[in-house]
């Protein structure tokens, strides 16, 4: 199958049962997407598929043929961090960092879905991404900062 990830098409031979997460990490070598619960409950594996938030642990890689997959590694352009990545750094929107890539990917999609989403709704709309370190206030601040730049 041909899988387009971060703008690059890769020809892969895959088991039809392979998850997108395992394909990204083990076959393509993009380890920024994290395997948390492997059950779709934590959001650490969030990537964008055609610009929409997708839990890669619950998505079969073969279902992504002909679609554009974007991982955390694909957000930066020409050596410049994406505004959301910069905001997470500036606002200390992470502690241990394990959930950070999923949080960033979800936040990018959230603002693309509704740039005018009220700040009070952001925590609910990000509730599929868990942070065991409880950096939620900093994550919300990072989203608010990035919204101004995006």
- What is the phi/psi pair of residue 70, to 5°? -120, 130
pLDDT band for position 37 (cuts 50, 70, 90) = very high
Q: What is the CA radius of gyration of the chain?
A: 15
- The pLDDT, as a whole number, for residue 105 is 98
> Given the DSSP bridges, would you call strands 52-55 and 68-70 parallel, antiparallel or unpaired?
unpaired
Domain boundaries, the chain: 2-74, 83-149
Looking at domain 83-149, its CATH superfamily turns out to be: [2Fe-2S]-binding domain (1.10.150.120)
% the chain with pLDDT above 70: 100
> What one-character-per-residue DSSP string does 47-78 give?
EEETTEEEEGGGSBGGGGTTSEEE-GGGT-BT
- The pLDDT, as a whole number, for residue 84 is 98
Report pTM.
0.96
Q: How far apart are CA 103 and CA 119, in angstroms?
A: 16
Query: Contact at 8 Å (CB) between 87 and 142?
Result: yes
Query: Contact at 8 Å (CB) between 117 and 125?
Result: yes
pLDDT band for position 39 (cuts 50, 70, 90) = very high
Q: Which of 75, 129, 149 is nearest to 139 (CA)?
A: 129
Mean pLDDT across 56-63? 98
pLDDT band for position 54 (cuts 50, 70, 90) = very high
CB atoms within 10 A of CB 134: 10
Looking at domain 2-74, its CATH superfamily turns out to be: Beta-grasp domain (3.10.20.30)
Mean pLDDT across 51-73? 98
pLDDT band for position 66 (cuts 50, 70, 90) = very high
Q: How far apart are the first and last CA of the chain?
A: 34
- The pLDDT, as a whole number, for residue 55 is 98
Mean pLDDT across 29-41? 97
Q: Encode pLDDT of 103-135 as tens digits.
A: 999 999 999 999 999 999 999 999 999 999 999
Q: Which of 56, 40, 36 is nearest to 48 (CA)?
A: 56
């Amino acid at each position: 199958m041909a899988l387009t990830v971060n703008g690059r098409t890769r020809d892969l031979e895959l088991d039809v049962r392979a998850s997108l997460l395992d394909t990204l990490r083990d076959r393509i070598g993009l380890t920024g997407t994290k395997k948390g619960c492997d059950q779709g409950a934590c959001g650490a594996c969030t990537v964008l598929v055609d610009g929409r938030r997708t839990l890669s642990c619950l998505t079969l890689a073969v279902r992504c043929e002909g679609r554009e997959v974007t991982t955390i590694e694909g957000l930066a352009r020409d050596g410049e961090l994406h505004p959301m990545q910069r905001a997470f750094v500036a606002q200390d929107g992470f502690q241990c960092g394990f959930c950070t890539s999923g949080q960033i990917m979800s936040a990018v999609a959230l603002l693309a879905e509704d740039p005018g989403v009220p700040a009070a709704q952001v925590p609910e709309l990000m509730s599929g991404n868990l942070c065991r370190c409880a950096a939620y206030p900093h994550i919300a601040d990072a989203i608010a900062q990035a919204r101004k730049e995006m």
